[in-house]
Amino acid sequence: MATMDAVERLRQNFREQFGAQPEVTARAPGRVNLIGEHTDYNDGFVLPVAIDREVRVSARRRSDSEVHLFAANFERRTVFHLEDVQHHPKERWSHYQRGVVLMLQRRGYKLGGFEAVIDGDVPSGAGLSSSAAVEVAMGTAITALFGLDVEPVQLALLCQEAENEFVGVNCGIMDQFISALGRRDHALFLDCRSLETRQVPLRGASGAGEAGTQIVVSDTAVKRGLVDSEYNRRRAECEEAVRRLSQWLPGITALRDVTPERLEQHAAELPEVVWRRARHVVTENARVLASVDALLSGDLTSFGRLMDESHASLRNDYEVSVPQLDVLVTAARSIPGVLGSRMTGAGFGGCTVSLVQGEAVAEFERQVPRAYRAQTGLDPSIYVCRPVDGASVLV
Q: What is the per-residue pLDDT across 213-225, written as a single tens digit (0 to 9) for each?
A: 999 999 999 987 6
Task: Give the whole-number percent of the chain exceeding pLDDT 90.
Answer: 89
**Side-chain half-sphere exposure of 35, counting CA atoms within 13 A:** 31
Is there a single domain that holds both residue 226 and residue 79?
no
Domain boundary residue, one of 171, 201, 231: 201
CATH code: domain of residue 182: 3.30.230.10
Number of domains in the chain: 2
Q: How much is the pLDDT for 226?
A: 61
Residue 157 scores a pLDDT above 70: yes
Is there a single domain that holds both residue 191 and residue 222?
no
Rounded distance, CA 303 to CA 83, Å?
50
C-beta of residue 72 within 8 angstroms of C-beta of residue 117: yes
Domain boundary residue, one of 147, 177, 201: 201
Is there a single domain that holds both residue 193 and residue 151?
yes
Q: Which of 216, 173, 223, 241 is nearest to 347 (CA)?
A: 223
C-beta of residue 286 within 8 angstroms of C-beta of residue 264: no
C-beta of residue 189 within 8 angstroms of C-beta of residue 45: yes
What is the pTM for the complete model shown? 0.93
Q: Is 191 a catalytic residue?
A: no
Residue 88 lies in a domain: yes
Kind and range of the H or E element at 228? helix 227-245
Residue 208 lies in a domain: no
Largest CA distance in the chain: 69
Rounded distance, CA 140 to CA 145, Å?
9
Residue 208 scores a pLDDT above 60: no
Domain boundary residue, one of 180, 201, 222: 201
Is there a single domain that holds both residue 226 and residue 80?
no
Mean pLDDT of 103-130: 92
Rounded distance, CA 74 to CA 395, Å?
24
Is there a single domain that holds both residue 128 and residue 229?
no
Mean pLDDT of 311-340: 98
Residue 164 scores a pLDDT above 70: yes
Is there a single domain that holds both residue 186 and residue 273?
no
Determine how many CB atoms are found less than 10 A away from the CB of residue 156: 27
- Strand extents, DSSP E, the chain: 24-35, 45-61, 66-71, 76-81, 114-120, 186-191, 197-201, 214-219, 338-344, 351-356, 381-385, 392-393
Q: Measured between alpha carbons, how far is residue 212 from residues 32, 204, 357, 366, 385 in Å?
A: 18, 6, 6, 19, 12
Is there a single domain that holds both residue 129 and residue 269?
no
**Domain span holding position 380:** 214-385
Is there a single domain that holds both residue 141 and residue 184?
yes
Residue 276 pLDDT level (bands cut at 50, 70, 90): very high
Is there a single domain that holds both residue 193 and residue 254?
no
Q: How much is the pLDDT for 281?
A: 98
* Active-site choice (175, 219, 257, 317): 175
Is there a single domain that holds both residue 218 and residue 197?
no
- Average the pLDDT over each of 5-19, 64-78, 101-115, 116-130 and give the range with the smallest value: 116-130
Rounded to the nearest 10°, the torsion over CA 248, 250, 255, 261 is -50
